[in-house]
């Protein structure tokens, strides 16, 4: 697995400082939540870790190697967005296989890995359907399978449960926790929901207005604040 170092990272958009001198050390296998209200800089920080947004200042490293020095295809980062972002014209099987097609994984191995990823999220029976034929919770599980199929070393989740109803949110929380326990992937989870952060994380970073105010285990943050 992979550790993630965020050192004195700042991101400015014109006059707005979205992320202000944030340092975080995320150990291998950790489930780290970035918890804070809308606009506090969570998505901006995640986008810089994913590598789709440049830092204004500071450094982000995986296993102590600066991400700038790691070629994109070797970064092994999986990402799940709030709105799933599935391809509507592709079957569930092909949505999940997309990242493997991009990496030119041979057909036989592709089939096996797609099957494995679908079974991790318990969607084997829906492989031939299309996204709009699935419920929101099922679509979110497809997005998760699509991120996991490339066997990422780091998994980034941006409010992945926020579009689900309360019952599904709870179910998915249990699934996410089980997956993390089984696979041990270093996970960074963006949420504004204290209960989610409390139930899922091994570490919580509480953010406000672009800065990390507090870091600790859920117990340290919520029981002895």
Residue 159: partners with Cβ closer than 8 Å, 6 or more residues away: 82, 190, 191, 192
**Closest distance of CB 84 from ligand ADP, Å:** 13
| Binding of ligand ADP by 40 (CB under 6 A) | yes
| Binding of ligand ADP by 6 (CB under 6 A) | no
Interface mask toward ligand ADP for 43-82; x: CB under 6 A = xx-------------------------------------x
| Binding of ligand ADP by 83 (CB under 6 A) | no
Q: Of 39 and 216, which has the nearer Cβ to ligand ADP?
A: 39
Stretch that binds ligand ADP, among 40-48, 54-62, 92-100, 105-113 (CB under 6 A): 40-48
| Binding of ligand ADP by 35 (CB under 6 A) | no
Give residues 85-124 in contact with ligand ADP (rule: CB under 6 A).
none
For ligand ADP, the binding residue among 7, 29, 39, 193 (CB under 6 A) is: 39
| Binding of ligand ADP by 18 (CB under 6 A) | yes
| Binding of ligand ADP by 160 (CB under 6 A) | no
Q: Of 36 and 160, which has the nearer Cβ to ligand ADP?
A: 36
Which two structure tokens, joined as six digits, stand for 79?
């990402």
User: Which residues lie near ligand ADP (CB under 6 A)?
Assistant: 13, 16, 18, 36, 38-44, 82
């Amino acid at each position: 697995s992979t550790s993630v170092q965020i050192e004195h990272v700042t991101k400015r958009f014109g006059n707005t400082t979205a992320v202000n001198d944030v340092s975080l050390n995320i150990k291998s296998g950790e489930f780290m939540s970035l918890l804070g209200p809308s606009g506090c800089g969570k998505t901006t920080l995640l986008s810089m870790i994913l590598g789709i947004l440049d830092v204004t200042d500071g450094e982000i490293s995986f296993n102590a190697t600066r991400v700038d020095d790691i070629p994109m295809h070797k970064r092994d980062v999986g990402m799940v967005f709030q709105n799933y972002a599935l391809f509507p014209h592709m079957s569930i099987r092909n949505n999940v296989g997309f990242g493997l097609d991009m990496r030119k994984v041979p057909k036989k191995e592709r089939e096996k890995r797609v099957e494995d990823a679908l079974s991790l999220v318990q969607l084997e029976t829906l492989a031939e359907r299309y996204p709009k034929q699935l419920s929101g919770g099922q679509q979110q599980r497809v997005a998760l399978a699509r991120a996991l199929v490339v066997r990422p070393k780091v998994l980034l989740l941006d409010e992945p449960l926020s579009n689900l109803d309360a019952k599904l949110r709870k179910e998915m929380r249990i699934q996410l926790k089980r997956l993390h326990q089984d696979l041990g992937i270093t996970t960074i989870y963006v949420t504004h929901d204290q209960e989610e952060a409390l139930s899922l994380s091994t570490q919580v970073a509480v953010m406000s207005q672009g800065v990390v105010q507090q870091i600790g285990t859920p117990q340290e943050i919520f029981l002895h604040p």
